Amino acid sequence: MERINYIDGGVCAAKGFRASGVHCGIRKNRTKRDLALIVSDRKAAAAAVYTQNLVKGAPLLVTKNHIADGFAQAVICNSGNANTCNANGIEIAEQMSDLVAMHTGIDAADVVVASTGVIGQPLEIEPIASGMPALTAGLAYDNSCDAAEAIMTTDTIAKSVSVEFELNGVLCRMGGIAKGSGMIHPNMATMLVFVTTDTAIAPCMLQKALSEDIKTSFNMVSIDGDTSTNDMVTVLANGMAGNDEITSEGQAFDVFCAALHAVTAKLCRLIAGDGEGATKLLTCKVTGGKTPEAAKISAKSVICSSLLKAAMFGADANWGRVLCALGYSGADLDVNKVDVSFASAKGEIPVCRNGAGIEFSEEKAKEILLEKEIDILVGLNDGEFCAEAWGCDLTYDYVKINGDYRT
Amino acid sequence: MERINYIDGGVCAAKGFRASGVHCGIRKNRTKRDLALIVSDRKAAAAAVYTQNLVKGAPLLVTKNHIADGFAQAVICNSGNANTCNANGIEIAEQMSDLVAMHTGIDAADVVVASTGVIGQPLEIEPIASGMPALTAGLAYDNSCDAAEAIMTTDTIAKSVSVEFELNGVLCRMGGIAKGSGMIHPNMATMLVFVTTDTAIAPCMLQKALSEDIKTSFNMVSIDGDTSTNDMVTVLANGMAGNDEITSEGQAFDVFCAALHAVTAKLCRLIAGDGEGATKLLTCKVTGGKTPEAAKISAKSVICSSLLKAAMFGADANWGRVLCALGYSGADLDVNKVDVSFASAKGEIPVCRNGAGIEFSEEKAKEILLEKEIDILVGLNDGEFCAEAWGCDLTYDYVKINGDYRT
């Protein structure tokens, strides 16, 4: 039974998880929620991965400490301020945990804390403190959408995915919300993603599943090549589905990992397609890699090329930029064996074979590239390994959004 | 006598070098020169460095072969087509050498060949062949500017630098022209740069000087993070100044290297300031690095950050993005010791001390950042090593230029 079905519910799809999101005043725009809370009815196994940026947001350090024992019960996250590079950042992040404890009765040491927004501006605790009553009053078993909205920064859509799957005949659920858009080039971690599940799974196995998953999910997304200071993915698993706890590798663990990947891979596509200023979701699918690394590095390099991203914005079949990006990627490949095609809902068109251009219809290529979701198909013809990476086009709006983000 | 004076003349500043540039028809725009020729009266010592991209333009392979013996006498370069990823690329590049031989009497094996423009479109030899009479007729000892124009692609200004300096009482000259703008993120080599000098220097010492120089010149420039397939720097030294030939390290070699750096560092600034769509030249000056690598990697990472580049376009003092870029650079540094200031002709403003924000006047910062040349000053306070990197802002026009470059 490896059937995984997409369902509604976001982080509330799993049993025993409530969520809420309010505007507390960190942001000036009163119509934009800026504070989110997710609470499990029971203490849950917890796992997380963090940005590899040496500059780390204060909330990450506090969270790392809080889930060191493998458990957590709540997540609080604000948008509008990253609480990073601030002298009192740790203190503020701890105060956020204390506020959750005070208003929910959950142990402050079981709170996951996250912040996203501008780096290097002091985060005041007052708006958060005054927003807590409304935030906790809003907690409901069907309110994932408010939390998903509250963690958005320049995102244009709230990002939520949930699935159900069976473990030895027991129905389990898993759901996640994500904040993406800018400063997205995860390195062993990612943007902000909160996943919940009612699966019973030991903390060490949960961490193992997450650490493995990100290699082919979030670590294969790039919006702009900038690895954020506040990237974090956390998973809370409260066991309320009632399955036999997963404590080792085996069939149940494999199904759990497949379900996790169903959630994370879809969140990746949502994040990439909603990159800052993006008009297109780009997926680079590499086949025929000599090694898994050759395939992964190739896919990521193509997705990261500013020149290719701009060409895709212009629906220009400039495949030379794909070859150029493969050539400087550092991957072990033979450029004389490379085939390239572009594909979308309008069809597929080969543009390069054995590293050299072939004749193709510019009109047909244009028709394919004018679609919203473009696949860049790269055949390395050098082995059996595959990889997929996600990104978006580079547009005027990316420049606009980032030319004056703070003010 | 280490005085180095900037003079006029470009690649014709050195004795015995003639240059020319014409429109031969590779480009549709008849007002844009697209074919350049530089000829030395005598066979010259030659050195070159090439792109590290695995995909290499055919002209580079031919050039490498031609200067394997340490000597060359002419450079031919077309713009509008990179002659890269073409099945018959090598053949065409050899034909270009043969045409130079036929029209100038120089041995075809002494010709440096270069091409720049679109990748993966066959380059026809016909327009080049028919342009050769006008090209050779135009050769003159004061015509560097036509050659500099002919190698331009999306460049908005021709890039030319020349200097004079003394070696043991003998006046020597050196000059260079460059093509920059896009696909600029050199890795052990660079965009197209042709340097000429009348200094007498042995080929091995010339190569040594060049290979060392690029580490702190062209390899510290980035426009868009894309390492081109056709990057190349060549130096021709014909010895006509009459100095004692430099055959080993020592004072004369040091002066020669200083002169070379005076030419290359200025070309770097010209290339960065004229990056595709750029409105500002950005220079990141790092001091206090624990190691030379820590300083260099830090400077380059800041200059390469799309987010910082967009912020500079918007004259937004978003120093958090500087810290973020330092944090993910991979450089060995202590983020809690980092100081950041922004500077320009309007003054200097500290914005971050010991890794945390400090209060500053937003109006003053805006005034400083509205200038055309911005310095981003990073103090790592962790050692004694310094580095400098050059780049430009990320603008609407970069997207526009690259959204539809081919058509």
Full set of structural domains in chain A with CATH: 4-273 (3.60.70.12), 281-403 (3.10.20.340)
In chain A, residues with a C-beta closer than 8 Å to the C-beta of B313 are 399, 403
Catalytic residue among B190, B197, B199, B229: B190
Both structure tokens of B391: 């780049």
Helices B320-327 and B292-304: crossing angle, nearest 10°?
A: 130
Average pLDDT over residues A403-407: 64
Residue of chain B nearest A223, judged by CA positions: B306
Q: Is the pLDDT of residue A189 over 80?
A: no
Q: How far is CA A390 from the centre of its chain?
A: 11
> Which of A250-264, B178-192, B219-233 bottoms out in mean pLDDT, i.e. has the lowest?
B178-192
Q: Is the dihedral of CA A94, A96, A99, A105 positive or negative?
A: negative
A302-330 residue pLDDT tens: 998 888 998 999 999 999 889 988 988 88
Q: What is the 3-state secondary structure (H, E, C) of A227-265?
A: CCCCCEEEEEECCCCCCCCECCCCHHHHHHHHHHHHHHH
Nearest CB to B402; choose among A310, A323, A402 = A310
Q: Give B390 or B187, the one with higher predicted confidence.
A: B390
- Whether the ipTM is more than 0.90: the answer is no
Burial (CB count <10 Å: 0-12, 13-18, 19+), residue B137: exposed
Nearest CB to A310; choose among B53, B335, B399 = B399
Task: Test B319 with A54 for CB contact under 8 angstroms.
Answer: no
Give the per-residue pLDDT at A85: 85
Q: Is the pLDDT of residue A346 over 50?
A: yes
Task: Test A121 with B357 for CB contact under 8 angstroms.
Answer: yes
Q: Is the dihedral of CA A57, A62, A67, A68 positive or negative?
A: positive
Task: Test B120 with A406 for CB contact under 8 angstroms.
Answer: no
Q: How far is A338 from chain B (nearest CA, A)?
A: 11
Q: How far is B125 from chain A (nearest CA, A)?
A: 18
pTM of the model: 0.76
Task: Test A324 with B405 for CB contact under 8 angstroms.
Answer: no
Q: How far is A190 from chain B (nearest CA, A)?
A: 13
Task: Test B310 with A403 for CB contact under 8 angstroms.
Answer: yes
In chain B, residues with a C-beta closer than 8 Å to the C-beta of A333 are 54
Distance between CA atoms of residues B317 and B369, nearest Å: 7
Catalytic residue among A63, A104, A190, A283: A190
Q: Are strands B192-197 and B232-237 parallel, antiparallel or unpaired?
A: parallel
Give the per-residue pLDDT at B191: 67
> Which of A84-93, B208-217, B383-392 bottoms out in mean pLDDT, i.e. has the lowest?
B208-217
A3-59 residue pLDDT tens: 899 999 999 999 999 999 999 999 988 889 999 999 999 999 999 888 777 778 899
Average pLDDT over residues B301-327: 90
> Which of B100-104, B139-143, B307-311 bottoms out in mean pLDDT, i.e. has the lowest?
B307-311
Q: How far is A75 from chain B (nearest CA, A)?
A: 24
Residue of chain A nearest B302, judged by CA positions: A226
Which helix (H) or strand (E) segment holds residue B284: the answer is strand B281-289
Query: What's the Cα-to-Cα distance from A131 to each of A77, A82, A120, A152, rounded to whole Å?
Result: 12, 18, 22, 17
In chain A, residues with a C-beta closer than 8 Å to the C-beta of B325 are 226
Mean pLDDT of chain B: 89
Q: Give A310 or A231, the one with higher predicted confidence.
A: A310
In chain B, residues with a C-beta closer than 8 Å to the C-beta of A86 are 356-357
- Chain A with chain B: Cβ pairs closer than 8 A: 205
Task: Test B85 with A407 for CB contact under 8 angstroms.
Answer: no
Distance between CA atoms of residues B316 and A375, nearest Å: 35
Task: Test A328 with B402 for CB contact under 8 angstroms.
Answer: no
B200-254 residue pLDDT tens: 999 989 998 888 888 888 777 776 666 667 778 889 999 999 999 999 999 999 9
Question: Do residues A174 and A59 touch, judged by C-beta distance below 8 A?
Answer: no
Most confidently modeled of A23-27, A228-232, A394-398?
A23-27
Q: What is the 3-state secondary structure (H, E, C) of A176-241?
A: EEEECCCCCCCCCCCCEEEEEECCCECHHHHHHHHHHHHHHCHHHECCCCCCCCCCEEEEEECCCC
Distance between CA atoms of residues A104 and A100, nearest Å: 6
B190 is catalytic: yes
